[in-house]
């Protein structure tokens, strides 16, 4: 009977509940936070790795916690930059067949079996998303954020920032030339997206969106 329960959907509900509780307990006091996304396949030689590290350090020194997917590549760079600053470095790892290994730069490290629980933690505690170059997983997180803003499930003032115009321009062209032209989205939906080409661009854009935070912090940056 117990073995039957453990393989059932009912038992799966308890596992999901456990992940939710663990996430809420671990992350309840990390605000303000920024979620930084990007591909796991970018090495330390990549310019994007160094830019993610620099941006995370700047934001960390300004008082933000930094949330990533917890793995290698851009995620590692952002966690490492956060550790070099004053804020907390959070890694939300995912259990997948390729066995993504957590990077060693976390103050708080959680591991999730379910993508949707992990994505809830990314959005629940963040004031903005910064999307560095990446693959399918990064795209998933990007479009999840855009859909939540578009449908009003999160504040319409929630910044979604694409880092690296050269990398993302093809996607923007497709959204404008095909998706928008077929009226599957509106011009306002395109306006949700901001593109930045340097850590300083991102930092200044976030300052404009969260002026009250910077006024109360009185911090600078770099």
- Confidence band of 175 (pLDDT split at 50, 70, 90): very high
- Confidence band of 213 (pLDDT split at 50, 70, 90): low
Least confident of 12-21, 36-45, 110-119, 202-211: 202-211
Residue with tokens 């079996």: 113
60-76: b (≥16 Cβ within 10 Å) or e = bbbbbbbbbbbbbbbbb
Least confident of 20-24, 29-33, 48-52, 68-72: 29-33
Backbone angles phi, psi at 116, to 5 degrees: -70, -30
Strand (E) or helix (H) holding 168: helix 165-174
- Confidence band of 100 (pLDDT split at 50, 70, 90): confident
Percent of the chain with pLDDT over 90: 81
What is the pLDDT at residue 71? 95
Q: What does DSSP say about strands 129-131 and 108-112: parallel, antiparallel, or unpaired?
A: unpaired
Residue 62: pLDDT above 80?
yes
Least confident of 61-65, 92-96, 102-106, 215-219: 215-219
pTM score, two decimals?
0.89
**Can you point out the beta strands (E) in 32-189?**
33-37, 65-68, 89-94, 108-112, 129-131, 160-163
> Could you give all domains of the chain from N- to C-terminal order, each with its CATH number?
2-217 (3.40.50.450)
Spatial contact of 17 and 112, defined as CB atoms under 8 Å apart: no
Report the side by side order of strands in the sheet with 65-68.
108-112, 89-94, 65-68, 33-37, 129-131, 160-163, 193-196
DSSP code of 175? Answer: I
What is the pLDDT at residue 221? 46
């Amino acid at each position: 009977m117990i073995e039957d329960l453990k393989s059932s959907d009912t038992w799966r509900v308890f596992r999901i509940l456990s992940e939710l509780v663990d996430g809420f307990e671990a992350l309840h006091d990390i605000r303000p936070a920024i979620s930084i996304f990007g591909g796991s396949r970018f090495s330390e030689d990549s310019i994007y790795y160094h830019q993610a590290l620099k941006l995370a350090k700047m934001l960390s020194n300004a008082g933000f916690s930094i949330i990533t997917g917890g793995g290698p590549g851009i995620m590692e760079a952002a966690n490492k930059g956060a550790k070099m600053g004053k804020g907390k470095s959070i890694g939300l790892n995912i259990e997948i067949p390729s066995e993504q290994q957590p990077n060693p730069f976390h103050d708080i490290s959680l591991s999730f079996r379910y993508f949707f629980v992990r994505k809830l933690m990314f959005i629940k505690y963040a004031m903005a998303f910064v999307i560095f170059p990446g693959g399918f997983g990064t795209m998933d997180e990007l479009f999840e954020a855009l859909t939540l803003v578009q449908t009003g499930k999160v504040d319409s003032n929630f910044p979604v920032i694409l880092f690296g115009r050269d990398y993302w321009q093809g996607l923007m062209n497709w959204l404008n030339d095909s998706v928008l032209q077929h009226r599957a989205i509106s011009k306002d939906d395109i306006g949700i997206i901001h593109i930045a080409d340097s850590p300083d661009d991102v930092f200044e854009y976030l300052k404009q969106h969260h002026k009250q935070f910077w006024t109360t912090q009185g911090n600078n940056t770099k």
